[in-house]
Amino acid sequence: MHYGKVKIVDISESVVSQYLESQHKLTRTRLTDIPLYLLLEPNNPALAAALITSQGFSGEATDMFLMMACLSLFETDERMSLFLSGCLSSISAKVRAIIQTDISASWTLGAIALQLHMSESLLKTKLKNEGGMFSRLLLEERMRVAVNMLCSRYGYGQAVAEKCGYSSRSYFISVFHRYYGFPPDRYVSRQGLDY
């Protein structure tokens, strides 16, 4: 929608989650420090104007690119990631966003609950009500990152294991195999990539 020089963009929860994942940062500012509105001036007003006025092309990939580009205009404001993570509606999405800030961290239910300003038992209950479990969410995120790293030829072995939060390479391989049904090297070769 266009209202003069203002463009209202409907950005889905999926886009917000992807943006937060790409930023890998979540400030620890208290939620009460964030205003109910966000009024920021972009670092590059000319780029912002071009993005807003030149959307003469369309398509799912283009729309996604434009939404990510618009969000990235505000990346230097430390409050933006926290503001966006607060916009996620499900507790599972919020937990995933926190995990994505440092996939290699030794995350615990208590540490996540602290960041969400709630007790462990309340977080556990809310996750259960959504049909999820903390350990499952953590595993899913770590395995997703592992596959991305392996398929983008980031490497193999200890580096990938450590980046995904595993200090033992053999344990990482065991978890990966149990999760995907193949060890990492075989998974990559089945994707048609050389290892």
91-145 pLDDT tens trace: 998 899 889 889 999 999 999 999 889 999 999 999 999 999 999 999 999 999 9
**Tens digit of each residue's pLDDT (9 = 90 or more) over 7-49:** 555 666 667 666 666 655 333 333 343 333 333 455 666 665 6
- Confidence category of residue 71, pLDDT binned at 50, 70, 90: confident
d(CA 195, CA 7): 46
DSSP 164: T
| CATH fold label, 103-195 | Arc Repressor Mutant, subunit A (1.10.10)
Q: How far apart are CA 98 and CA 161, in angstroms?
A: 19
Contact status, residue 149 vs residue 155, Cβ threshold 8 Å = yes
CA 176 to chain centre: 20
- Report the pLDDT value the prediction gives residue 113, as an integer from 0 to 100: 94
Say if CB 103 and CB 145 are below 8 A apart. Answer: yes
Instruction: State residue 39's pLDDT score.
Output: 38
Give me the residue spans of the domains in the chain: 2-89, 103-195
